[in-house]
Amino acid sequence: MNFEWDEAKSETCFEQRGFDFAYAARAFFDPHRRVQEDKRYNYGEIRYQLLGKIESRLFVLVYTARNETLRIISARKANLREVRRYENSPNDD
């Protein structure tokens, strides 16, 4: 997998949340990850929301696919509702 991101957004994520997008990209390698299309807004591109574990912690990433590259838009630790969704839903990848 090839990843890209806005370096300034990654640095802001690190300052606010304690991890950068390079670390968060590890969630893509969770074999039990959950992915769904992010339809909350019209972004002008198709965006996806990924729930994936890194070690024992669940993360939420928003990303888009551009050619052969996955562009990470945002990343954060999952809240309790998202943890429950991850634990109770089938993997539709």
pLDDT number for residue 78: 98
* Domain residue spans of the chain: 2-88
Note the pLDDT tens digit of each residue in 36-73. 999 888 889 999 999 999 999 999 999 999 999 999 99
Asked if the model's pLDDT at residue 93 lies above 60, the reply is no
**What kind of fold does domain 2-88 have according to CATH?**
YaeB-like fold (3.30.2310)
pLDDT number for residue 29: 97
Model pTM score? 0.89
Counting residues of the chain whose pLDDT is more than 70, the rounded percentage is: 97
CA–CA distance, 32 with 4 (Å, rounded to integer): 22
pLDDT averaged over every residue in the chain: 94
Taking CA atoms, 26 is separated from 2, 64, 65, 73, 83, in Å, by 12, 16, 16, 15, 17
